Amino acid sequence: MNSLLNKHILLGITGGIAAYKSADVVRRLREQGARVRVVMTRGACEFITPLTLQALSGERVHRDLLDAEAEAAMGHIELARWADLVLVAPCSANFMARFCHGFAGDLLATLCLATTAPVVLAPAMNRQMWLAAATQANVDRLVQRGVPLLGPDEGAQACGETGPGRMLEPDAIVSAVNKLFLTGRLAGQTVLITAGPTREYIDPVRYISNCSSGRMGYAIARAAAEAGARVTLVSGPTALAPPEAVAIVRVESANQMHRAVMEHVADARVFISAAAVADYTCKDMADDKIKKHVSEFSLTLNKTADILSDVTSLPEPPFTVGFAAETSHLADNAKIKLKNKRLDLIAANQVGNGLGFDNEDNALHLYWEGGSLDLGQASKDQLARQLVKVIAEHYEEKNRHKIAGSATRH
């Protein structure tokens, strides 16, 4: 599965002859749909020009920590937040040592400290430098800290020697980065997700709906698939392409969504209800287009079934996650929905003020019985990955309790 679509990769290039291969890394990452921003150290600029990387990434290349112009466009903290993953390729012995010991003397090293995204290193250096006791001690420390090291490869080196220290080839680096996003957190689980708005038709050409774009639900579907789950996405009408490796069931109305969920829920271990389901539907849909003969007319609306509550009322409900879209009293309303709908977890988001519906960004606050977590504001893709991580943790914990409970009963 290609997990790189829309991922934000910050590529750090340090000084080494392998820097010329970084150009190809950028090209291949972009071919897979990733967005790439490049940060170069002073040493890197001796080996390859920023212009090359700018042309290939389609983005301005960042070089200096204290460049007022660059900071005005996108500051180093913003860059650190923007990244889903920081890849340093090639990573010189010097940079590895600086990163290992937390130095922040230049832009790249500062970013590596300031980011919460994983930092991945593709070392490239002379074989003696790689084998040196100091480098190997740094490698051990980094491995202990869980820093993924891609390579190095063995073979002929630019210095004429042969041995370990060559940077991995660009295709191997890109494929390793792709795998890093495939977390396997929900491996083997079946996840059912709803997304998008519903349409409640008034007549054959008019309907009542809402502003949901479906982006949050689609991002969750993609994140769950990347986490190894078998995902079915029940989607209301959206303009979005279905995520890779996700089975999609298209519906229009709240009733159709209810039916589709009930058809698929028996197989699901996790149900995530991200759809903005209409709470009311037209009692009678006109068979023909309503004409404007009369100056005023009324619609009678009937309440729709609450899909989420119907799922948690099943004899053996899956682990269930709801959403609460609120314009005010976010925490209170979310906690009420958590309890009333008997959810395992609820993700609350403020709608309006440039957030929520039909926006790139969102801000999620998670609540569960006895706990909460603020995921802050980020892109919907980033939030979806964080949400899936939290869901996987809570799902595992709930199952552990269940197993422990049944063991004590026997």
161 in contact with ligand CTP (CB under 6 A) = no
322 in contact with ligand CTP (CB under 6 A) = yes
Comparison of 79 and 277: residue with beta carbon closer to ligand CTP: 277
Q: What is the rounded CA–CA span in Å between residue 75 and residue 335?
A: 37
Comparison of 303 and 401: residue with beta carbon closer to ligand CTP: 303
Query: Residue 122 CB, nearest distance to ligand CTP (Å)?
Result: 42
275 in contact with ligand CTP (CB under 6 A) = yes
Q: Within 13 Å of residue 263, how many CA atoms lie on the same side as its CB?
A: 12
- Please name every residue paired with 119 in a beta bridge, in sequence order, or none if there are none: 86
366 in contact with ligand CTP (CB under 6 A) = no
Size of the site for ligand CTP (CB under 6 A): 14
Residues 6 or more apart whose CB falls under 8 angstroms from that of 56 comprise 23, 26, 27, 30
Which of 100, 159, 211, 282 is the catalytic position?
159
Helix 93-100 with 107-114: angle, nearest 10 deg: 40
Pair 246, 232: CB distance under 8 Å:
yes
Burial of 305 (0-12, 13-18, 19+ CB in 10 A): middle
191 in contact with ligand CTP (CB under 6 A) = no
Whether 159 sits among the annotated catalytic residues: the reply is yes
Query: Residue 275 CB, nearest distance to ligand CTP (Å)?
Result: 5
Q: What is the rounded CA–CA span in Å between residue 167 and residue 82?
A: 26
254 in contact with ligand CTP (CB under 6 A) = yes
Comparison of 327 and 399: residue with beta carbon closer to ligand CTP: 327
Q: Which stretch binds ligand CTP (CB under 6 A): 133-141, 227-235, 320-328, 365-373?
A: 320-328
Quick one: which of 304, 312, 320, 350 contacts ligand CTP (CB under 6 A)? 304
200 in contact with ligand CTP (CB under 6 A) = no
323 in contact with ligand CTP (CB under 6 A) = yes
Give the C-alpha distances (Å, rounded to integers) separating 232 from 150, 250, 306, 316, 353. Answer: 33, 11, 19, 19, 31
Comparison of 98 and 394: residue with beta carbon closer to ligand CTP: 394
Distance separating the N- and C-terminal Cα atoms of the chain: 42
Q: Which stretch binds ligand CTP (CB under 6 A): 113-121, 285-293, 318-326, 379-387?
A: 318-326
332 in contact with ligand CTP (CB under 6 A) = no
306 in contact with ligand CTP (CB under 6 A) = yes
* 3-class DSSP assignment, residue 381: helix
Query: Residue 257 CB, nearest distance to ligand CTP (Å)?
Result: 8
Quick one: which of 150, 219, 220, 325 contacts ligand CTP (CB under 6 A)? 325
221 in contact with ligand CTP (CB under 6 A) = no
Residue whose pair of structure tokens reads 């920590």 in the numeric block: 65
Quick one: which of 150, 193, 308, 388 contacts ligand CTP (CB under 6 A)? 308
Residue whose pair of structure tokens reads 């679509």 in the numeric block: 5
Give the C-alpha distances (Å, rounded to integers) separating 253 from 165, 259, 276, 305. Answer: 59, 10, 11, 11
What are phi and psi for residue 375, nearest 5 degrees? -85, -5
9 in contact with ligand CTP (CB under 6 A) = no
Q: Which stretch binds ligand CTP (CB under 6 A): 3-11, 56-64, 118-126, 300-308?
A: 300-308
362 in contact with ligand CTP (CB under 6 A) = no
130 in contact with ligand CTP (CB under 6 A) = no
Task: Respond yes or no on whether the N-terminal peptide bond of residue 90 is cis (omega within 30° of 0).
Answer: yes
Binding site for ligand CTP (CB under 6 A): 254, 273, 275, 277, 279, 304, 306-308, 322-325, 337
The residues annotated with a catalytic role in the active site are 159
